[in-house]
Structure 1
């Protein structure tokens, strides 16, 4: 039965009952199946994302385009669809033909930036929910290209949008600085302790005073990842408060929040970058205590490295490093003393029996 999905197009997915039950979270078994299926069929990811966007658009209860604009846009778009894909729409089940013709037009309008030019975000694809209220004056910035797009906000903060991503901000900020994000973006925030900067996604709220960080939500897995480059941020779940305090992230740390499991996992980023950069590019150590290297790594990368100083007191090492990454240096330092480095909750733990042989 499920083999048919291998040949599905975006419109085929959008008209499939089981697929729609997953998108609108009506059945837990649909969520389990589709999350696994998309991971096993990465070649269909683009069609799946387009179908999700399509359904979100159709879920809208209102549209800011006038009826005349909608009609003209649909006619032009349907003509283009028919010209480039003869017979494509006719394969859609009859009950959905009219429905899909209008849906396909709406999808293409979004992809080419029409909706962005009209500030036509709606409640259906607004992850902030009540954060965007009718009558308020909002600006929408979309990236419909294949590369990144940089946007300078009212206060001088920068947002670098990933492809197929959007942000929405109030035309004038009063009090807190609120950004609603669909997709992924890197933020470089101007410091202002009196005006917190918040980024809202469907799953989490990220609040900072002044820092640089990346937020991204995967539309398929529904996982949100927050990664900090400089400063610190506070991350909390939007819909359900998690037990314990909110998660605080520091440079080179990230969290991954899974909406399905309602679990927030904290970790060291895959590629830590130097926070305290030095003009010195080669680091030479001759017979120095191994703890000294751990301490210097911690300062350079702002990643907490925990080890037993007494156990490693007799361990010395001679080595030099130049272009090695954080993880490579850590591995090379641990190897001679038969130590291991374990990452847990955004920190590094060194395990060793010491050097008293």
Structure 2
């Protein structure tokens, strides 16, 4: 009897044997799944998509986590998939590169959005003495100073650890007179551009409206005006972890079965809408080449497409998920020096008759074999 009959993308993603195959590429498991795909061709597309999504997760977070912790993440994934389906009961309409719209892969997109929210956050330092009042509790603590920018120009603050904060007009920053030996904590109201000095022994925490952002050393932007109705975090370089305040407080209070934080990497952002209680991850509006990354000149002459995509991925530090075997025979000739990220991708995809989708701040490319 076929125990996988009726499985779709999300079912394969949650299956322990399937996860093991994707994660470790065990030869015995590979034999089973390759045979299953041959004998069940109607499920081949779902299996391929689930494999790509899980592979993207393992690649992005690249951390050693225990089986019990993986199980906890999968438990959270089930909830996210169900919540996503409850929010989007119909089939989404999405635009292709020519501007036409098409309805496709509803379950695939739901599973993608859910899976790519999984974050390896289980090793994070969790500060003590947090209260339900969140941001205000820190501003009211003895030894905190509030810096207020009531001018029409940016103000640059240098903190005692060497970190730089550019405080935008009508914004304020609560900072301690001295950071303690275990953590560095500040409170933001309004907009601040942060460049944090790296200190692996003292995480940097920014409390802004209903979000907590945790970093070790990176460059990012937070917009948290109280009357704006939403809060956003955008990453320029490095990585940050973003939590809803209530989740962060819950995790800090003791062991939790589900990790609810989200990791952001360069050119990704989080948008939080308090009324809906939803965190949405996407690419920033205008992704930029990461300054600290050494890149090529984006000039290609009969270059394998997989190398072109890897080049773009490295330059922008945005995960591009594709099947190298499918693109093995595809080549590309063009100069992409002046185009923004999404235009680069559109040109490459048009050349090889492929499509791309941006999901949870990552790019997924799908198409046909260039030999066909």
Q: TM-score, normalised by structure 1?
A: 0.61
Partner of 2:174: 168
Pairing 1:299-318 to 2, within 5 Å after superposition: 299-318=314-333
Cα RMSD for the two superposed structures: 2.0
Structure 1 pair 232/208, CA: closer, same or farther in 2 (3 Å)? Answer: same
Give the counterpart of 2:195 among 163, 183, 188. 188
1:264 Cα deviation after fit: 0.8
Give the counterpart of 1:261 among 273, 276, 279. 276
1:297 Cα deviation after fit: 0.7
For the 8 Å contact 2:174–2:188, the answer to whether it is kept is: yes
Secondary structure (helix, strand or coil) at the match of 1:172 reads: coil
For the 8 Å contact 1:165–1:183, the answer to whether it is kept is: yes
- Stretches of structure 2 lacking an aligned partner (at least 5 in a row): 1-132, 251-257
1:223 equivalent to 2:234? Answer no
Secondary structure (helix, strand or coil) at the match of 1:266 reads: strand
1:313 Cα deviation after fit: 1.7
For the 8 Å contact 1:127–1:180, the answer to whether it is kept is: no
Secondary structure (helix, strand or coil) at the match of 2:246 reads: coil
Task: Describe the superposition over 1:212-266 as per-residue Cα deviations: whole angstroms up to 9, x where unpaired.
Answer: 1111114334211111111111110003469643111111111111111111111
- Indicate the structure (1 or 2) with the bigger Cα radius of gyration: 1
For the 8 Å contact 2:189–2:225, the answer to whether it is kept is: no
CA–CA distance in 1 between the matches of 2:331 and 2:216?
41
Partner of 1:155: 161
CA–CA distance in 2 between the matches of 1:326 and 1:250?
16
Pairing 1:80-229 to 2, within 5 Å after superposition: 128-133=135-140, 136-175=142-181, 176-229=183-236
Partner of 2:289: 274
CA–CA distance in 1 between the matches of 2:134 and 2:313?
37
Secondary structure (helix, strand or coil) at the match of 1:183 reads: strand
CA–CA distance in 1 between the matches of 2:209 and 2:366?
39
CA–CA distance in 1 between the matches of 2:136 and 2:168?
22
CA–CA distance in 2 between the matches of 1:177 and 1:339?
46
1:278 Cα deviation after fit: 4.2
1:322 equivalent to 2:337? Answer yes
Give the counterpart of 1:245 among 251, 260, 267. 260
Structure 1 pair 150/174, CA: closer, same or farther in 2 (3 Å)? Answer: same
Aligned length: 230
For the 8 Å contact 2:194–2:219, the answer to whether it is kept is: yes
Pairing 1:279-290 to 2, within 5 Å after superposition: 282-290=297-305
CA–CA distance in 2 between the matches of 1:325 and 1:222?
29
For the 8 Å contact 1:146–1:163, the answer to whether it is kept is: yes
CA–CA distance in 2 between the matches of 1:327 and 1:251?
15
Structure 1 stretches (4+) deviating beyond 6 angstroms? none
Q: Which is further off, 175-184 or 244-253? A: 244-253
Give the counterpart of 1:291 among 306, 309, 328. 306
Instruction: Work out which structure has the larger RCO, using CA pairs closer than 8 Å and 6 or more positions apart in sequence.
Output: 2
CA–CA distance in 1 between the matches of 2:134 and 2:157?
20
